C-alpha cells in the first residue's frame, strides 16, 4: 500500500518490525536455546536502534494530532500497545519460547493495526497530515 510521504518512514519501520516478529516466532517454535537467545538479542538491538525512536516519533507527532482530531480511543490503544511491547522487549526472560511468541504475536498485531487502521485514518485527516509534516 502506498503511503503519504509523511508516513512512509514509519511504514518502512513496520516492514522491519514484521520481519523481526517472524524471526521471533520461528525461534519460539524451535527447540534451540541458542536460537532463542539470538532472536532475543536481535529484538533488543532493533529496539535500541529503531523501535524506541519509532514509538517516540508516533507519540510526539502522530498521536497528539489524532487525539486532537477526536480519535482518543485509537490513540489510547496505540499507547497501550506501545507500553506492552516496551515491556516485552525489556523482559529479562525474553529468550524463552513463550515470550518470543508473545512478542511475535503482539508486534504483528500492532503493525497490522497501525497500517490498516491508524495510518489509514490519519491519511484522511488533513490536520493530522499537516502536523506530521511540521
Q: Could you tell me if residue 2 is inside a domain?
A: no
Q: Could you tell me if residue 103 is inside a domain?
A: yes
Q: Could you tell me if residue 1 is inside a domain?
A: no
Q: Could you tell me if residue 90 is inside a domain?
A: yes
The DSSP call for residue 2 is: -
In whole angstroms, give the CA distance from residue 14 to residue 65: 20
Containing structural domain, residue 126: 8-133
More confident residue, 25 or 2: 25
Q: What is the pTM of this model?
A: 0.94
Q: Could you tell me if residue 102 is inside a domain?
A: yes
Per residue in 28-39, pLDDT (tens digit) is 999 999 999 999
- Angle of CA points 50, 113, 56, to nearest 5°: 30
Q: 129, 62 in Cβ contact below 8 A?
A: no
Does residue 119 have a pLDDT over 90? Answer: yes
Name the domain count of the chain: 1
Q: What's the mean pLDDT in 105-121?
A: 98
Per residue in 60-80, pLDDT (tens digit) is 999 999 999 999 999 999 999
Per residue in 72-112, pLDDT (tens digit) is 999 999 999 999 999 999 999 999 999 999 999 999 999 99
Does residue 1 have a pLDDT over 80? Answer: no
Give the N- to C-terminal CA distance of the chain in Å, as an integer: 23
Q: Could you tell me if residue 89 is inside a domain?
A: yes
Q: Could you tell me if residue 52 is inside a domain?
A: yes
Q: Could you tell me if residue 3 is inside a domain?
A: no
Residues in CB range of 127: below 8 A, 6 or more apart:
65, 68, 69
Amino acid at each position: 500500500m502506498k503511503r503519504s510521504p509523511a508516513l512512509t518512514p514509519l511504514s518502512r519501520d513496520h516492514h522491519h518490525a514484521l520481519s523481526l516478529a517472524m524471526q521471533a516466532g520461528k525461534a519460539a517454535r524451535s527447540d534451540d536455546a541458542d536460537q532463542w537467545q539470538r532472536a532475543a538479542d536481535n529484538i533488543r538491538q532493533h529496539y535500541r536502534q529503531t523501535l524506541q525512536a519509532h514509538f517516540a516519533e508516533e507519540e510526539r507527532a502522530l498521536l497528539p494530532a489524532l487525539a486532537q482530531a477526536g480519535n482518543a480511543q485509537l490513540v489510547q490503544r496505540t499507547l497501550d500497545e506501545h507500553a506492552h511491547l516496551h515491556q516485552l522487549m525489556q523482559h529479562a526472560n525474553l529468550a524463552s519460547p513463550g515470550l518470543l511468541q508473545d512478542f511475535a504475536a503482539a508486534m504483528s498485531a500492532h503493525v497490522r493495526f497501525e497500517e490498516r487502521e491508524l495510518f489509514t485514518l490519519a491519511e484522511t485527516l488533513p490536520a493530522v497530515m499537516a502536523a506530521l509534516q511540521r
